[in-house]
Homo-oligomer: A and B are copies of this chain.
């Protein structure tokens, strides 16, 4: 009986993610979103409820995609090779709206205000870290790295390096690929 929306909700979330990722939470206004989504305020609020609610959806998609890419890479290359290539992949995609990680950007922007989205970002980062740990564990099982090392510790350091790499990649005039290579090399020495 009713009328269907004339947009693809999933694609709208993608476009929002790109905008939020690049410009951040405060840096993205409703007007910006309306322009990119081609939506008037009424439709926007009917569809998503609020700017924060959409940001949450965008961040979830961002995190899910990242995890998915890591899993696919691990299936194709095995755990250690996946971990080695992941940093380079994260920074070499020219189409991405930003080099830096959307989760860390959100965390840094909103943590001081105790904004719920900061906690959300931290949660996604924890999930990613867990999967890094799993891969390190698998690599140990395969005898690819020293099995005396603690996978959790390795994962935490790895994620920290990755976040640093991606902040550096955001800078102008910095050759981040060299850093990515070094991160990969240091994994080979474990």
Instruction: From the candidates B111, B125, B167, name the one contacting A108 in the complex (CB within 8 A).
Output: B167
Instruction: From the candidates B100, B126, B157, name the one contacting A182 in the complex (CB within 8 A).
Output: B157
A86-115 contact mask (Cβ, 8 Å, vs B): 1 or 0: 000000000000101000110111111100
Residues in B whose Cβ lies below 8 Å from that of A170: 107-108, 111
Residues in B whose Cβ lies below 8 Å from that of A162: 164
A interface secondary structure, majority: helix
Decide yes or no whether A163 CB sits under 8 A from chain B.
Answer: yes
Residues in B whose Cβ lies below 8 Å from that of A167: 104, 107-108, 160, 163-164, 167
Decide yes or no whether A22 CB sits under 8 A from chain B.
Answer: yes
Cα A174 to Cα B186 in complex, Å, equals 22
Cα A107 to Cα B178 in complex, Å, equals 21
Cα A24 to Cα B126 in complex, Å, equals 24
Decide yes or no whether A159 CB sits under 8 A from chain B.
Answer: yes
Instruction: From the candidates B112, B125, B159, name the one contacting A23 in the complex (CB within 8 A).
Output: B112
Decide yes or no whether A27 CB sits under 8 A from chain B.
Answer: yes
> What is the CB-to-nearest-CB distance from A20 to chain B, in angstroms, rounded to a whole number?
11
> What is the CB-to-nearest-CB distance from A82 to chain B, in angstroms, rounded to a whole number?
19
Are the C-beta atoms of A24 and B112 separated by less than 8 Å?
Answer: yes
Residues in B whose Cβ lies below 8 Å from that of A111: 170
A-B contact pairs, 28 of them (CB 8 A): A22-B112, A24-B108, A24-B112, A26-B27, A27-B109, A98-B112, A104-B167, A105-B108, A107-B167, A107-B170, A107-B171, A108-B109, A108-B167, A108-B170, A109-B109, A111-B170, A119-B172, A122-B173, A125-B171, A153-B178, A156-B168, A156-B174, A156-B178, A156-B179, A157-B178, A159-B164, A160-B167, A163-B163
